[in-house]
Amino acid sequence: MMELQDMLFSQGFGTRRVCCGLVQQGLVQVGPERTPCDNPGAVFDERELLFHVQGQSWRYYALAYLMLHKPAGFECSQKPAAYPSIYTLLPAPLRRRGGAAAAGVQAVGRLDQDSTGLLLLSDDGAFIHRLTSPRHHVAKVYQVRLKHALDERMISRLLQGVVLDDDPRPVRAAACQALAENQMQLTLTEGKYHQVKRMLAAVGNRVEGLHRSSIGRVDLPADLLPGQWRWLSAAEVAGLTQKMPAPAGC
């Protein structure tokens, strides 16, 4: 059970003082019936509670798990250098979850500003660590458009492993498939800086376009348009946190 003002604070609607004011001003309704409540100390069972703040519907989540279809021209940074931040695509409460001591939801790994596709975000540190740690072998699938034609030699080298300039240990693709002369599908289980671009450069090619279509057991839905986001379902979160078998050769 939780007081209404504390619930709003935990969900990112401002400081406790601001949340108290929202309730007292009659800007918060509770439940599917949109019952008005002007008592900040009113206690509710917060589990999956539906509430409405200034006309917008929200559901209480103790922890946030989201997917975003990242468009090109956005940086995966809270303090972008040259392009807008992906966080501007999210409602303000998601960026403020947890109060001033927290930083709201965080991207689970990154995509370059010119890359597109599936991006996961959460405020669950253990979830983020599990998906980004290479020892858990969480597969990320990319659709890659290349400058030069793909050949069997390049595919073989990617599967066998290439050496990047910051790590003497070969980095291998978990899977690699030609889709067309200048297109391929590449599956990785690590997340090094500019990894796809650097791996293709190491075999004599160049990435012209990069799109991430899946992470683990979660695929980017066809109806989630660039710039749109949604909550992950409980089944999707469970699928991402289940132990994944290590790909052959890794």
> Looking at the predicted structure, is the pLDDT value of residue 228 above 70?
yes
pTM: 0.91
Task: Report helix angle 125-132 to 234-241, nearest 10.
Answer: 50
Structural domains of the chain, count: 3
129-to-72, 134, 167, 171, 181 alpha-carbon distances in Å:
25, 10, 21, 20, 36
79 lies in a domain?
yes
Please list, in sequence order, all residues whose beta carbon lies within 8 angstroms of the beta carbon of residue 153, skipping any fewer than 6 positions away: 203
250 lies in a domain?
no
248 lies in a domain?
no
**CATH code (residue 30):** 3.10.290.10
The DSSP symbol for 164 reads E
223 lies in a domain?
yes
65-to-48, 88, 94, 99, 165 alpha-carbon distances in Å:
14, 17, 10, 17, 34
List 6, 112, 114, 124, catalytic entry:
112
Q: Which two tokens stand for residue 225?
A: 């348009």
Contact 157, 170 (CB under 8 A): no
**CATH code (residue 224):** 3.30.70.580
Q: Say whether 166 is catalytic.
A: no
Q: Which residue has the higher pLDDT, 52 or 246?
A: 52
Do 210 and 185 have their domain in common? yes
> Looking at the predicted structure, is the pLDDT value of residue 247 above 50?
no
Do 130 and 104 have their domain in common? yes
